[in-house]
Copies of this chain bind each other. A is one copy, B any other.
């Protein structure tokens, strides 16, 4: 992970939109739609792959670029969504991990625990 600061990236995205007069389009609802659409574009890459194939997507240069590019789009819309609503994404995640550590205690045994869909 690079030393890039997420707050600086969020600021660059806000400046980018403002200087292009895109703010009227950037309602929380529209940014959330865009986030969902970009997550699906990332998912499209994986739709016909087996689990094993999905673990090797970075071995092909073109696919690796596409994956990385869609990750950037997802993060871009997530940060822009958080910016317009004043949500601190890192604090939200830190608090969520705290809650999940209480909710899903580490099992004593060695058997894989069942996976909870409502995690």
Contact = CB atoms under 8 A, between A and B. Distances in A.
A34 to B, nearest CB: 5
Interface residues of A, number: 81
A2 B28 CA distance: 21
Number of copies of this chain that the complex holds: 4
A42 B47 contact: no
B68 A92 contact: yes
24 contacts: A2-B90, A2-B91, A16-B101, A21-B107, A21-B111, A21-B113, A22-B115, A25-B115, A30-B47, A32-B42, A32-B46, A32-B54, A35-B39, A36-B42, A39-B40, A40-B41, A50-B51, A58-B87, A68-B92, A71-B81, A71-B89, A71-B93, A74-B74, A75-B89
